[in-house]
Amino acid sequence: MKTILVVDDDKMNLMMAKNLLSKKYRIVTVNSGKMALTYLERNIPDLMLLDLMMPEMTGFDVMEKLNEKEEWKKIPVICLTADIDNATEVQCFEMGAIDFIVKPFSPAIMLSRVQRTLELESYKKDLEGAVKEQAEEILKKNIKIMKIQREVIVSMANLIESRDGSTGEHVKRTAIFVKLIAQNLMENHMFEETLTKEYFENICKAAPMHDIGKITVPDYILKSTGNLSDEEFKIMKNHSVEGGKIIRETLGNIEDQNYIDIAANMATYHHEKWDGSGYPEGRSGEDIPLCARIMAVADVFDALAFKRYYKDALSLDATFDIIEESSGTHFDPVVADALCNVRGKIEKMFESNEFE
């Protein structure tokens, strides 16, 4: 049974409302705005019939209080008043009232408007429930699609890395190093305007695609164990530009634009150097996107610390020495410092064989 709270300082009006409505609804009556608010502290009615002209606390005062709490805002209110001024009616609706009944009220009109209001509220709740259910279903499907997309992306990245003799572990490791670096930068409040929570999540998700442009490099160049000719090296270097293009063309219509920008920048510029001697554009300093500066450190660290088909792994001491020596030339010094700051965590990961 629906509950209706009737608020009126006139006992006769309360009695009339109760007699009229109690056959179909549960009626609660109070004779002041203050008592109404006290009741609402523990109960939420399905409808409120609210007299406007009451001493101490008017109906307008009560509606003002209702608007201060989210659960009270949702209570449908029908205003009751003998004031037939248009301005009063307008004010009622502006403050959130659903309807307006002029005193002395007609029993038939009150019954009709109460019934109509409760029916509309019921339809509204049903619609909100249906919309919420559909939204949750869409969200579940989107999450599933995004998971599939990420798995495909990582699989593509692993496949590309395997072409030059690397394993899929390189993709996983560089993503781990990117995450560790970015976490340390955030903990130390570095690059706060850029390195937001969303940016952090996007660079971690985008890291596996940093070398996706290698798919355009011929095998004879990618798998070469000797020195590349100038022309071959030019083709090899072009993988960074091609990587950015591939990301924008293949993911542009299915992913968030912020993520696309970060992933494309990471792929395009992770071979740029802090001193401007890198490629493809010879950018320097903070003209290189932050995501690419982070990726550069993570990528080189992995290349040094792990075995490749053309080289043995360096010791951790030697690897960190090179990172420190290259700070301010190859690498953004702040980003290089961030990697060094998490050296203890990385050493523990090596000791526990997490990278094997």
Enzyme catalytic residues: 214
Give the strands of the sheet with 77-81, arranged side by side.
Answer: 26-30, 3-7, 47-51, 77-81, 99-102
- Tell me the C-alpha distance between 355 and 54, whole Å: 74
Count of Cβ atoms closer than 10 Å to residue 139 Cβ:
10
Residue (of 202, 211, 260, 220) closest to 240 by Cα position: 211
> E-strand spans in 183-339?
none
- Given a contact cutoff of 8 angstroms between Cβ atoms, the answer to whether 60 and 30 are in contact is no
Distances (CA, A) of 95 to 54, 57, 67, 88, 125: 17, 15, 8, 11, 21
- Given a contact cutoff of 8 angstroms between Cβ atoms, the answer to whether 36 and 7 are in contact is yes
Does residue 26 sit in helix, strand or coil? strand
Rounded (5°) CA angle 260-262-264: 65
- Tell me the C-alpha distance between 210 and 15, whole Å: 75
Distances (CA, A) of 104 to 16, 92, 109, 266, 310: 11, 18, 11, 72, 95
Give the tokens for residue 219: 């095998």
